[in-house]
Amino acid sequence: MPLIANTKLPAFERLSQEGGTVISTEDAIHQDIRELHIGLLNMMPDAALSATERQFFRLIGESNQIAQFYVHPFTLDELERGKEGKAHVKEFYESFDQIKADGLDALIITGANVTQPDLAEEPFWQPLIEVIDWAWDNVTSTLCSCLATHAVMQFRYGQKRQRLPEKRWGVYSHRVVDQSHPLVNGVNTRFDVPHSRFNEISRAQFEAAGLRVLVESDEANVHLAVSEDGFRQVFFQGHPEYDTISLLKEYKREVKRYANGEREDYPPFPENYFPLQIRAILDEHQLALNKALTSKKKLPELPEDLLIPQLDNTWHDTAEAVINHWMGYVYQITDLDRKQPFKQDIDKNNPLGLL
């Protein structure tokens, strides 16, 4: 939430110049503590549907202790789902028509599994564009995660993602490269972010699109960027929403695919994620698994109970801080009538109206 400039103390102006959220007393007295309605377009497959809900709900709920958050999950009919997934969506999710009718203050769009080399060939491509176009005109700010970032970069900015030589998979150190932006004001200048992807948008592509890069990594490239006006669209390439065990679960799925003959090579470790002791345990498990496959005996279970207590989470606090800044912006700038479109007269260089 913002700091109120209740006097002419120079510190207020200095904080504002550094990217802090500072508003005048006159603006403050006209504000009411109110509810915010956040949409979650969950495009993840059935196996990750509930986990993705929890991850983003947790970040939203922990980000601000004043506003009341209502989160509205919805999905796209064109995404393939099994019986349980369809039942979950039918019981707990809203339709896009309902979302449009009621309006949103902000929108989060998750990643998705893809099967085509070009995103434009995916069955969900046109419906996703419809959601993003609607949000552009009617939602104060949209946060795009991973695949959603790549989709927006392709259809709105003509920048197609590039295939990586190998999967970008692990936890990587990042650096804030633009400390003046309110989204990263006050966060650690260096922090970790998990990544899990086969494709990426480069810094040069973000800059060619006229977008502003805020956070990047020497190993994992750009993580956080924003649209031309600074807030209307926020782009993640990494997965700061991940739980401590998310990469372990992905590794387990890849080991299972190897055991089932769905991949030829044994999966490598996610980079910078498993400490040495866990690596030793997993090396032993690989030997036992290969021996069981050769002798056609029962396959050993991955010893998760031994692994989980040794895993560290080095990204959640910073992710929470960034989401908190994002929610604070949405709170400040959103009209009380959520059906009104984005305020076109906002100063693009100073969207929060900072002092």
Residue 222, beta-bridge partner list: 216
Give the model confidence (pLDDT) of 147-183 as tens digits: 999 999 999 999 999 999 999 999 999 999 999 999 9
Domain tally, the chain = 2
This prediction's pTM: 0.87
Same-domain status, 270 and 121? no
Same-domain status, 121 and 265? no
What are all long-range contacts of 204-207, with beta carbons under 8 Å and residues at least 24 apart? Answer: 205/153, 205/159, 206/153, 206/159, 206/235
Residue 343 lies in a domain: no
Give the model confidence (pLDDT) of 125-152 as tens digits: 999 999 999 999 999 999 999 999 999 9
Same-domain status, 124 and 213? yes
Residue 344 lies in a domain: no
Provide the percentage of residues in the chain whose pLDDT is more than 70.
90
Contact assessment for residue 223 and residue 193, using Cβ atoms and an 8 Å cutoff: yes
Residue 144 lies in a domain: yes
The two structure tokens encoding residue 334: 């959103």
Same-domain status, 73 and 169? yes
Residue 118 lies in a domain: yes
Same-domain status, 164 and 304? no
What is the CATH classification number for the domain harbouring 118? 3.40.50.880
Contact assessment for residue 35 and residue 70, using Cβ atoms and an 8 Å cutoff: yes
Q: Other CB atoms closer than 10 Å to residue 22's CB: what's the count?
A: 22
Same-domain status, 44 and 170? yes
Residue 340 lies in a domain: no
Mean pLDDT of the chain: 89
Give the model confidence (pLDDT) of 278-290 as tens digits: 999 999 999 999 9
Give residue 267's domain range: 246-310
Same-domain status, 239 and 250? no
Is 33 buried (19+), middle (13-18) or exposed (0-12) by CB count in 10 A? exposed
Residue 41, beta-bridge partner list: 74, 109
Residue 342 lies in a domain: no
Catalytic residue annotation: 146, 239, 241
